[in-house]
Structure 1
Amino acid sequence: MDDIVNAASDSLPFAGLRVIDCAEGIAGSVAAMMLGQMGAEVVKVEPTGGSKQRGSAGFAARQQGKRSIVLDLETDGGNFVALLAGADVLIHEPGLPEPFLATAPHLVTSCISSAPPGIGHDDLPADDFLVMAAIGLLDEQPATRRDGPAFVRLPFGSYCAAWLAATGIGARLFARMRGAPPGPADTSIMQGALLPAMMLWRDAERPTEALVGRIDKRMLPSIFECADGIWLHIMKNADDTPLMKQLLDEMGPEAVASENAKWPAHFRYKNWGANVRAFRSRPSAEWLEDLWAADIPVQPAMLPGELYADAQAVANRYVVEIEDHEMGRIRVPGAPVTINPAADAGRPVSKIGADRDAVLALRKPAAFPALSGSADSRLLAGVRVVDFGNYLAGPLATMLLADLGADVIKVEPPAGDPMRANESAFLGCQRGKRSLALDLRRPEAREIIDRLVEGADIVHHNIRLPTARKFGLAWEDVSVTNPRAIFGHVSAYGPEGVRRHWPGYDQLFQACTGWEWAHAGEGNRPAWLRFGMMDHMCAASLAFGMMAALYRRERTGRGSPVAASLLGAAVLTMSGTAMRADGSLTNSLPALDADQTGPIDGRGLAKCVDGWIAYAGPDQRAPAPQSFASYRCDEALSALGARGYAAIRIPEEAGKAFLHDAALEKRGLVARYSHPVYGELRHPGAFWSMEATPVSPRRAPPVLDQHREEILAEIGFSPTDIARFEKAGIVGASEGMRT
């Protein structure tokens, strides 16, 4: 077994804590479940008759392991007060009466709303689709057959908000272990949706040509149809694999050129047209064998839920079987984060109200050190993170910790993080960090690596583990150098199974989890969402895992490894579907129409004379989109409002307006900082709302090797040592790569 899994540790991080879950939405339910998987006792508070979602796949999946109590807060408020008195954490949604909260000032709380209060969206329903419409994110996703936005059905704002809430709660608990007072770790679906927007929305005073440019929204994703009708999403030019090379040779130069001329030129796939013809000539199984053998990152576009049968997902316990009281034996998402002992996944939620007497029995909250900190201190002040990661899924995790106050040192190769070639994406996951360029391949670098690890609270990277061992950056190396360090690792497919060292990208996991088909629309090719949210959810899950392990270290004094993966985070998004014992799926997703305006469930898009609107309402059958073709947007919104619908005009090209909105900036939703290259740089801001506790970024994303001297001096190297390293080329950016 892999070293990530085998590491010895104590009990799960949040063992001994009690969490009260009063949430109905995806975000709160998942956040509470994750705390439970990390050892907390979670009590689900249900209304009279039980949650209206009981009996659904989503309820069974998202409430795993929770105890149940039925409470009517109007008639049984005394027992709810007693429940809060013995709890440590409360997760809820807007509407919980303030007097209840006032009775339990000892609680760490997280209120997960549609949008942060005070920005003009207080009445916005808890609907990811409408939230994305309200801030203009829907305009970032083009439809396949027409101009204008496409319906986005993956509620990634809620899933991201779940991880943000769980991470914020973990940071609050960690700070309490260091004498800080309790308080809120609030977030929202909107802040969750803004997390993936980091790589799309940015504005610079002095933009470079590369930063101004952006990938064309209409560019086709690299998804190719095979002879058996299966579509494959590939993330590397496959021209040199044995099968593709054979087929291109058989076509001959003239036929290849002729096929290529039928398609627009692509910067990465120079033989796109010929590739299309080649893929259509062989079945998917033959292609997968050829591509995987050549280390080409690829996955088939599957139907939602089919991945429950995947051996890799099962090997890592990303998929578990539970005996649900209403649905029987089903497969659902398991634990996305790997820790030791294994996360507590696979237990069904209790029957309705089954735990009333047990949870109302007298209980004292967990004991924390006496208060010695202040509410206006950053939660992770004094925590040092050394980040050897590249690209997005790993480094975004440490950026979130930087937002919470950690000192993050970004260690890059002399040529820089390869993600720097995509300036917008790089800037969107690196703020708050300091940069040191270090050539890990040089044996002499080990002296610097060891010093960095010795002074770290957290060591993170997403280097494939066989390579990491060569650099002394596997868990067994880190734990010897610093037994108190938390070791965070991100991979594509998880630490167990035959694919544990395979490469992977966001796109592949949108494909295999079924979301590319769910967004396609009737008769269309699979559709990739541009937001890269699988990367972002993976990073956020690791941030939570590292936070949980850090909290445990404060209790035990010992470090431990924790791992997250794209596959694990992606499987969790299938929680609305379960697999029955006979292999059939409980798919609750109605099909999108061919124009991708929406499913038949009362929610959708409509084009008006002067723009697009999004609506959601009480009727099961949505209004026909063409119903508003002759309306102005304001007229359509008024008509829908009269029918009881919530409706939003979709802003177009909304990113810059959002980033220059003074009201949003005042509420912390816009961050701006001074950058040596770009001047004033703006991004989406705070992902949490924590009253007096700072959660905004302190530094702009770093220039390559910007902080070399100060970092090396801090870890004990003299000016003579630093000059020696520089002369030998062990530290420092490659020529021409400083920025």
Structure 2
Amino acid sequence: MEHEEESVLEGMRVIECAGGINGPGAGCILGMLGAEVIKIEQPGVGAWERGIDAVAGTGLQLPDGSAIPVHLFNHSKKSVTIDLNKQEGREILYRLVQRSDVFITNYRPSVIERLKIDYETLSGYNARLIYGTTSALGGKGPERERRSFDYIGQARSGMMMAMGERNDSPTVMVGAPTDQLGAIMLAFGVLAAMIARERTGHGQRVDTSMMGAALFMQALHLGICLFRGKELKRHSRADAKAPLSNYYKCKDGKWILLTEIQVQRFWSRFCDALGMGELTDDPRFMTPERMREHAGELVKILDEVFATRTRDEWMKILDEKVGLACSPIHTMSEVTEDPQVLENGYIVEFDHPTLGTIRLPGFPVTLTRTPAKIRSRAPEVGEHTEEVLVDLLGYSWEEIEEFKNREVI
């Protein structure tokens, strides 16, 4: 039986004063869940992510002059331009706060205080307001004002010393992962505060950070360090103590990952499938303890074996003859064409009026009755200013013209 489609956050209104990914990413998530998200931007300029022209040497400008991050993190929103440096602009925002449920920002504390958009001020206009902030290192402590970007979230959370080979220099993950992690956790916190407000009737402040989100993601590693007083060693491919939890280069230059913890269960089938049945009775590898002692030797053997066939050939052999846990190691380009990714809606198509059919990240959680989805294209700077000020806030057209003349909107 089909149900009429609804959205999780239908009827909820969110104000976003944020730039980059860490803040706008949270607004985007809430928009996909059905909230009306109103993004506040500087008149004539817009939020700073609109001007990002390259990342790691890769150009981000599209044929229509827009930047890729705009389409990734600002869809499913409205855009209103207000100069919050002016008192008249702040008065417009305060009126909007009275009619909204949530306010989110990733501005630094000093900027928030200067613009008079802090929690104490805004909650004075709406006691039920949920006020969310996200930053690099957290809302407390001596470095709460530090100007930061994603790499700092990775550096301070230990991520850069958890990735890469054991004796390599620190390794950075491209693509701003802690920016997005912070956004996800801010959206998560806002949703929790919404549930709390339904029970108590009160709004509250919600605060998270890139560093905090990245630490929470690494709970196992962090927990072992807390209990044992030492961190996990970084992976060493050439000397992996569990050779069946390692990765190997195949004949076509592509890589395959093995990640099997039940080695004894699959060892005999694994050896036979790879054409090295003689290793089944090799005393160097007959027990997990002996295998760890001779791990480097086994890795060299497996390197030679996997180099004899393509990755797809090995995947077929391992799936059909062994059944152990394994996977191709995909490049991001390969991910975009992975049938498993597409079947689950992790990448979706969207018809854009100037760019044509584009593909964007889909929502990674399936909700059968209240699905999340891309609800509208990313707006132009200030596209909804008049609509929001007139229809929602009740300003007259004469007042709108005065605001424009004084460059308030």
State the TM-score, normalizing by the size of structure 1.
0.45
- CA spacing shift, 1:664–1:496, aligned 2, 3 Å: closer
Amino acid at match of 2:130: I
Task: Give, in whole Å, the separation in 2 of the partners of 1:725 and 1:384.
Answer: 24
SS across alignment from 2:117: coil
Structure 2 partner of 1:720: 398
**1:2-21 per-position Cα deviation (integer Å, ceiling 9, x unaligned):** xxxxxxxxxxxxxxxxxxxx
Task: Give, in whole Å, the separation in 1 of the partners of 2:224 and 2:367.
Answer: 41
Task: Give, in whole Å, the separation in 1 of the partners of 2:10 and 2:70.
Answer: 25
Task: Give, in whole Å, the separation in 1 of the partners of 2:21 and 2:231.
Answer: 31
The alpha-carbon deviation at position 670 of structure 1 amounts to 3.2
Structure 2 partner of 1:406: 35
2:238 is the alignment partner of 1:609: no
| Preserved contact between residue 491 and residue 501 of structure 1 (Cα < 8 Å) | no
Task: Give, in whole Å, the separation in 2 of the partners of 1:665 and 1:588.
Answer: 34
Task: Give, in whole Å, the separation in 1 of the partners of 2:227 and 2:325.
Answer: 38
| Preserved contact between residue 136 and residue 152 of structure 2 (Cα < 8 Å) | no
Paired residues, number? 353
Task: Give, in whole Å, the separation in 2 of the partners of 1:726 and 1:665.
Answer: 45
**1:42-84 per-position Cα deviation (integer Å, ceiling 9, x unaligned):** xxxxxxxxxxxxxxxxxxxxxxxxxxxxxxxxxxxxxxxxxxx
Between Structure 1 and Structure 2, which shows a larger proportion of helix residues?
2
| Preserved contact between residue 593 and residue 599 of structure 1 (Cα < 8 Å) | no
The alpha-carbon deviation at position 461 of structure 1 amounts to 0.8
Q: 2:90 aligns with which of 429, 446, 455?
A: 446
Matches within 5 A, 1:285-296: none
**1:639-661 per-position Cα deviation (integer Å, ceiling 9, x unaligned):** 43434423333455225535xx6
Matches within 5 A, 1:11-90: none
Task: Give, in whole Å, the separation in 2 of the partners of 1:582 and 1:393.
Answer: 28
The alpha-carbon deviation at position 518 of structure 1 amounts to 2.2
Q: 1:515 aligns with which of 127, 140, 159?
A: 159
Structure 1 partner of 2:326: 647
Structure 2 partner of 1:690: 367
Task: Give, in whole Å, the separation in 2 of the partners of 1:665 and 1:627.
Answer: 32
Structure 1 segments of 4+ aligned residues over 4 angstroms from their partners: 578-584, 620-623, 663-667
Task: Give, in whole Å, the separation in 1 of the partners of 2:169 and 2:132.
Answer: 37
- CA spacing shift, 1:578–1:565, aligned 2, 3 Å: closer
Task: Give, in whole Å, the separation in 1 of the partners of 2:176 and 2:243.
Answer: 26
- CA spacing shift, 1:541–1:711, aligned 2, 3 Å: same
Q: 1:436 aligns with which of 44, 57, 80?
A: 80
| Preserved contact between residue 98 and residue 125 of structure 2 (Cα < 8 Å) | yes
- CA spacing shift, 1:582–1:567, aligned 2, 3 Å: closer
2:308 is the alignment partner of 1:630: yes
Task: Give, in whole Å, the separation in 1 of the partners of 2:226 and 2:343.
Answer: 54
The alpha-carbon deviation at position 664 of structure 1 amounts to 6.1
Unaligned runs of at least 5 residues, structure 1 = 1-373, 732-739
Task: Give, in whole Å, the separation in 2 of the partners of 1:391 and 1:489.
Answer: 14
Matches within 5 A, 1:269-308: none
- CA spacing shift, 1:625–1:704, aligned 2, 3 Å: farther
Task: Give, in whole Å, the separation in 2 of the partners of 1:666 and 1:605.
Answer: 26
| Preserved contact between residue 579 and residue 585 of structure 1 (Cα < 8 Å) | no
- CA spacing shift, 1:570–1:708, aligned 2, 3 Å: same
Task: Give, in whole Å, the separation in 2 of the partners of 1:697 and 1:457.
Answer: 21
Task: Give, in whole Å, the separation in 1 of the partners of 2:225 and 2:330.
Answer: 45
2:322 is the alignment partner of 1:657: no
SS across alignment from 2:219: coil
Structure 1 partner of 2:357: 680
**1:149-172 per-position Cα deviation (integer Å, ceiling 9, x unaligned):** xxxxxxxxxxxxxxxxxxxxxxxx
Task: Give, in whole Å, the separation in 2 of the partners of 1:380 and 1:609.
Answer: 50
- CA spacing shift, 1:635–1:687, aligned 2, 3 Å: closer
Amino acid at match of 2:312: D
Q: 1:385 aligns with which of 9, 14, 17?
A: 14
**1:372-427 per-position Cα deviation (integer Å, ceiling 9, x unaligned):** xx773211100000001111111111211111110000111131111112322332
The alpha-carbon deviation at position 581 of structure 1 amounts to 10
State the TM-score, normalizing by the size of structure 2.
0.78
| Preserved contact between residue 434 and residue 707 of structure 1 (Cα < 8 Å) | yes
Task: Give, in whole Å, the separation in 2 of the partners of 1:681 and 1:528.
Answer: 28
Task: Give, in whole Å, the separation in 2 of the partners of 1:568 and 1:536.
Answer: 12
- CA spacing shift, 1:616–1:703, aligned 2, 3 Å: same
Task: Give, in whole Å, the separation in 2 of the partners of 1:581 and 1:534.
Answer: 21
Q: 1:475 aligns with which of 119, 122, 125?
A: 119
Matches within 5 A, 1:548-563: 548-563=192-207
Q: 1:670 aligns with which of 347, 352, 362?
A: 347
SS across alignment from 1:657: coil
- CA spacing shift, 1:520–1:669, aligned 2, 3 Å: closer
- CA spacing shift, 1:497–1:719, aligned 2, 3 Å: same
SS across alignment from 2:220: coil
Amino acid at match of 1:501: E
**1:225-245 per-position Cα deviation (integer Å, ceiling 9, x unaligned):** xxxxxxxxxxxxxxxxxxxxx
Amino acid at match of 2:257: A
Structure 2 partner of 1:505: 149
